[in-house]
Chain A
Amino acid sequence: MSESHEAHHHIVPIPIYVAIFATLLVLTGVTVWVAYLDFGAMNIVIALAIAAFKASLVVLYFMHVKYASKLTQLASVLGFVWLAILLGMTSSGIFTRDWIGSDPGWAMQPLDAGAVHHDAAEGAEHGEEAEAPAEH
């Protein structure tokens, strides 16, 4: 019970709710509007930035996180941080996997076939074959 008890019953004034509500509606219009303008690759970035801003307004005011304990505030960002780990590491892996030439050494390509022949010439006894991912 070391967490602070402050501000659990903080009552947000109605005008703030109305202001957030109006802002969310306006930003929805802005989202649609900018989608029809050509910013090139930035279109998706702008769309997500607006969405993230809208989401923060909902979290901070409608969900009272602005007035909540430090622990609740931490909990409200933790999920997004972990989502960023999942998205960041996976997509960086998938988007960079073709970077080594056009011929990754571990696919069933002539390079690999050569390596297998080389092994066979040595009379290798270990059964290291090209990996089919489905069998791991």
Chain B
Amino acid sequence: METTSSSLPLADKPKPNYLTASYGIKSWLLTLDHKRIGILYIITLTTFFMMGGVYAALIRLELLTPAGDLLSSEAYNRTFTGHGVLMVFFVLVPLIPATMGNFLLPLMIGARDVAFPRLNLLSWYLLVIGGLTAASALLTGGVDTGWTFYAPLSSRYANGAVLVAIVGAFIAGFSSILTGLNFVITIHKMRAPGLTWFRLPLMVWAIYATSLIQVLATPVVAITLTLLALERLFGVGIFDPALGGDPILFEHMFWFYSHPVVYIMILPAFGVMSEVISCFSKKAIFGYRIIAYSSLAIAALGFIVWGHHMFVSGQSAYLGLVFSLLTMLIAVPTAIKIFGWLATMWGGSVELATPMLYAMGFIGLFTIGGLTGLFLAAMGLDVHVHDTYFIVAHFHYVMVGSAIMGYMSALHFWWPKMFGRMYPKTLAKVAAVLVFVGFNLTFFPQFVVGYLGMPRRYHFYPPEFQIYNVFSTAGAMVLGIAYLLPLLYFPYSLFKGEKVGANPWGAKGLEWETASPPPTENFEFTPVVTEEAYAYAKEGEPVVH
């Protein structure tokens, strides 16, 4: 980029950006540009999301009536497992870090690329290979263990393509590890001059905390799945009690990874919230440092609460007490963030743009999801609602209501940066409101029906529960339409959308100082940072349209 630095950036002369720098399938499949890899992830994850969505639609249709009339019990088991495996391992875990993180992280820290671009491309290939492996398992024979692969069901008794699905999840795990490793090093070593830790956007702090979890937690699930596969292959009892193994050991090892995974999904969404809410309140974020530290606190605490999934599994009651208490503690840094965002909006000039609508929806849904999590941390209540639809509702409020809302908010916020064009704003707002309505209609009745005792993972249920399930299925249809709308207007906007300049929202942050779409090496000059993040209180830069 130094070779072009002598020419002044001219206003309207089209210069090559990362999209037009080269053409052809090969230039994409072999790209080392973090922005293109981010786009590849968006396409991949959208595909997996639609596959998982088909399974969700089948589940909701089956549950419309109390009888098992659409799917056999066997097929139903395979359906909810397919939904869970695809959505957790291949959509939610990579969702924001791999798409938005890849695109934005080097831009936000003023770097030309991530620290290890080849490793970055390898991560994408691993996710695709893992996803295709798991999808082939789901389509040929299916898996009936649930996404948790609990032993000894998965190691001895399940008769589906469990091994293939495990291999798929294992490969995707390494994709996640490599992405996390890459981002940690990038944040440590690639920041622009003047960009100290406490000038970083909070999104970067959130991605940093997320990446640490990916590095520290994922290897454990990799070895767990390996042991599971070996037990299934050789019939040696690591987890199977009939052979001298210990099924609780599997649960400990599995949840050592799979609880922190929730924070892999949700922490980056927290980061998006900080960016979007301060931008559309035109105010500096309230309590920058404490929000930054709370990301790290959540990442660390998230590792010592996993036993709350095992209160009724035969886990030690004493350890259960410890886990219960620690789980409640994690509400503190989480609440700090929520209050920080509310205080940021307070007194700001709030603009209800599409990203902000999603962000406000996020706050509402996450508050419900988080607070019901506190209920579940109390052992007594958890015994009552364990394995009921209350749990299903709770984790969908966190994983869909929050993580996917955060992703949608991010996508609408940075879309003009990615492609230099704006989507149809009114239509997008309609979709945002529909998501919120459809989501609550789908999952709120599940809290009620779960509390009344409807168990998860069965497709028969007593007739008195039908009314809740009818609401839920109707809500799922609204939600499905709301998710389909962006699939239409985003591609449309690529060709017909209004062209925008570098900073259509008047936002702060280095990514808004380069062109939309950015050039291949991100910046014409290496930026030098001289101010704090979110310096909205000062006179803002003129909005470029």
Q: Which has the most chain B C-beta neighbours within 10 Å: A78, A89, A107, A125?
A: A89
Inter-subunit contact A126/B453 (CB<8 Å): yes
Does A100 have its Cβ within 8 Å of any Cβ on chain B? yes
Does B339 have its Cβ within 8 Å of any Cβ on chain A? no
How close is B511's CB to chain A, nearest CB, in angstroms? 19
| Residue among A1, A79, A107, A128 making CB contact with B314, cutoff 8 Å | A107
| Residue among A85, A89, A95, A134 making CB contact with B247, cutoff 8 Å | A134
Please measure, in the bound complex, the distance between the C-alpha atom of A61 and the C-alpha atom of B451, giving whole angstroms. Answer: 59
What is the interface residue range for chain A against chain B?
20 to 34
Inter-subunit contact B457/A135 (CB<8 Å): yes
Contacts of B464 in A (CB 8 A): 125
Contacts of A135 in B (CB 8 A): 150, 153, 387, 457
Closest partner residue, chain B, to A79 (CB atom): B216
- Chain A residues 69-128 with CB under 8 Å of chain B are 71, 78-79, 82, 85-86, 89-90, 92-97, 99-100, 104, 106-107, 125-128
Does B152 have its Cβ within 8 Å of any Cβ on chain A? yes
Contact with B along A1-37 (1 / 0, CB 8 A): 1110000000000000000000000000000000000
Contacts of B335 in A (CB 8 A): none
- Chain B residues 186-212 with CB under 8 Å of chain A are 188-189, 191, 193, 196-197
How close is B305's CB to chain A, nearest CB, in angstroms? 10
In the complex with contacts A3-B188, A125-B453, A90-B252 CB distance below 8 A: yes
Does B535 have its Cβ within 8 Å of any Cβ on chain A? no
Please measure, in the bound complex, the distance between the C-alpha atom of A99 and the C-alpha atom of B319, giving whole angstroms. Answer: 11
Please measure, in the bound complex, the distance between the C-alpha atom of A97 and the C-alpha atom of B243, giving whole angstroms. Answer: 20
Contacts of B307 in A (CB 8 A): 89, 93
How close is A3's CB to chain B, nearest CB, in angstroms? 7
Contacts of A40 in B (CB 8 A): none
- Chain B residues 156-198 with CB under 8 Å of chain A are 157, 188-189, 191, 193, 196-197
Does B30 have its Cβ within 8 Å of any Cβ on chain A? no
In the complex with contacts A96-B316, A97-B248, A136-B150 CB distance below 8 A: yes
Inter-subunit contact A106/B312 (CB<8 Å): yes
In the complex with contacts A128-B453, A134-B157, A92-B316 CB distance below 8 A: yes
Inter-subunit contact B386/A97 (CB<8 Å): no
Closest partner residue, chain B, to A124 (CB atom): B453
Closest partner residue, chain A, to B457 (CB atom): A135
Contacts of A97 in B (CB 8 A): 248, 314-317, 319
How close is A65's CB to chain B, nearest CB, in angstroms? 17
Report whether over half of chain B's contact residues are helix, strand or loop; otherwise say mixed: helix
Q: Which has the most chain B C-beta neighbours within 10 Å: A79, A97, A134?
A: A134
Does B246 have its Cβ within 8 Å of any Cβ on chain A? yes
Please measure, in the bound complex, the distance between the C-alpha atom of A127 and the C-alpha atom of B153, giving whole angstroms. Answer: 22
How close is A73's CB to chain B, nearest CB, in angstroms? 14
Inter-subunit contact B318/A90 (CB<8 Å): no
Contacts of A3 in B (CB 8 A): 188-189
In the complex with contacts A127-B455, A134-B153, A106-B314 CB distance below 8 A: yes
Inter-subunit contact B157/A99 (CB<8 Å): no
| Residue among B188, B197, B316 making CB contact with A94, cutoff 8 Å | B316
Inter-subunit contact B252/A99 (CB<8 Å): no
| Residue among B157, B189, B303, B316 making CB contact with A1, cutoff 8 Å | B189
Does B122 have its Cβ within 8 Å of any Cβ on chain A? no
Contacts of B76 in A (CB 8 A): none
How close is A108's CB to chain B, nearest CB, in angstroms? 11
Contacts of A100 in B (CB 8 A): 317
Does B253 have its Cβ within 8 Å of any Cβ on chain A? yes
Inter-subunit contact A1/B193 (CB<8 Å): yes
In the complex with contacts A93-B315, A97-B248, A133-B150, A82-B216 CB distance below 8 A: yes
Does A38 have its Cβ within 8 Å of any Cβ on chain B? no
Does B452 have its Cβ within 8 Å of any Cβ on chain A? yes
Please measure, in the bound complex, the distance between the C-alpha atom of A54 and the C-alpha atom of B247, giving whole angstroms. Answer: 34
Please measure, in the bound complex, the distance between the C-alpha atom of A131 and the C-alpha atom of B388, giving whole angstroms. Answer: 12
Please measure, in the bound complex, the distance between the C-alpha atom of A95 and the C-alpha atom of B249, giving whole angstroms. Answer: 11
| Residue among A85, A95, A136 making CB contact with B313, cutoff 8 Å | A136
Contacts of B306 in A (CB 8 A): 89
Contacts of B220 in A (CB 8 A): 86
Please measure, in the bound complex, the distance between the C-alpha atom of A135 and the C-alpha atom of B157, giving whole angstroms. Answer: 12
Contacts of B322 in A (CB 8 A): 89
Could you list 24 examples of A-B contacts with CB < 8 Å? A3-B189, A85-B303, A85-B304, A86-B220, A93-B252, A93-B307, A93-B315, A93-B316, A94-B316, A97-B314, A97-B319, A99-B317, A104-B314, A104-B317, A125-B453, A126-B452, A126-B453, A127-B453, A128-B384, A131-B313, A134-B150, A135-B150, A136-B146, A136-B386
Query: B residues engaging A (CB < 8 A)?
Result: 146, 148, 150-153, 157, 188-189, 191, 193, 196-197, 216, 220, 246-249, 251-253, 256, 303-304, 306-307, 309, 312-319, 322, 384, 386-387, 452-453, 455, 457, 462, 464
User: Given A1-B191, A97-B319, A133-B251, list of 13 further CB < 8 A pairs?
Assistant: A82-B303, A86-B253, A89-B252, A90-B253, A90-B256, A93-B315, A94-B248, A97-B317, A107-B314, A125-B453, A128-B384, A133-B314, A136-B150
CB-based closest 6 A-B pairs:
A126-B453, A97-B316, A93-B319, A134-B153, A96-B316, A90-B252
